[in-house]
Amino acid sequence: MASGGAERIAALAAPLTHLARRGSLLIATDFDGTLAPVVRDPDRARPLPEARRALEILARHTPVAIISARDLANLAGHCQLTGVLLLGSYGLEPWLQMSTGEPPPAARAPSPELLQLARELSALTAWLDGVQVEVKSLGVAVHYRNSPEPRRVGPIVRRQVEQLSARHRFQVVRGRLVVEARPPRSGNKGTALRLLLDRLQPRGCVYAGDDLGDLPAMRELHSRAGQLELAEAVGVLSSEAHPELLREVDHLLDGPRQWAELLQMVAEAVSDPATAPAGR
């Protein structure tokens, strides 16, 4: 695992550029904490402008996908990038490739089982200041980022979600100051990346993420390393990074700005004919 720095970013950009020029690099990335800095109000999250511009340029040359825990409609509303594949709900919702000016899709209604789970979790967590229950199309997330004591509250929230999810036979996914209950066998970001790799058949892939929910995608990518020219897992570092994530990544970058810097470097090289190899 190598940490980020200007020289390291340039060295990582070179092999990515080589494959992107050939249209055979899958650039896959998480959204919150990776393209967009984490903010206290998730509705205010937006990709960094540099990352936005770079991804739209790169999508004209090579496949680009964003795999998010957000609902597809929510993700599309916050991240309208022309030509970029959007995969919501850890990739379980249908893929969406938006065009310029296209409105985001309508949100999918949650099931009665999810609504019931959300009501029960809201009742259980009502006494915890700053804890919010979010009902999603395919899950219920309990956020404790805005708690005045997240270190104390976190274990309480996790225990409540795990116990209630076991009763409802839901699976639990942990994230950065959030715990989510999802229907059983609903897949993960590794499942989503597997489908992308199988369908697109790129020669190489880079995946960037910052959280425990990104681990399945990174592990899926590493399981394909023998079949790909390039298989790089990039960790986008934060003070909340889990040790398990740090052990899995090949490269560490210092937050979303360095990931945006890397994307921008590759986009500029790919779109500049003066830097293209002779004969291409």
Phi, psi at residue 37, to the nearest 5°? -60, 145
17 touches 160 (CB < 8 A): no
Say which residues have a Cβ less than 8 Å from residue 242's Cβ, sequence separation at least 6.
211, 212
Cα separation, 183 vs 171, whole angstroms: 6
Nearest CA among 147, 225, 218 for reference residue 189: 218
Taking phi first (over 0 means left), then psi (-120 to 50 degrees means alpha), and beta for anything else, what does residue 8 get? alpha
Query: β-pairing, 204-209 with 25-29?
Result: parallel
Torsion of CA 191, 180, 236, 232, to 10 degrees: -10
CA geometry: angle at 104 spanning 30 and 136, to 5°?
A: 60
Cα separation, 12 vs 266, whole angstroms: 9
> Catalytic one among 30, 32, 71, 250?
30
Cα separation, 35 vs 58, whole angstroms: 14
- Amino acid at residue number 10: A
Three-state SS letters, 41-55: CHHHCCCCHHHHHHH
Mark whether 30 is an active-site residue.
yes
Catalytic site positions = 30
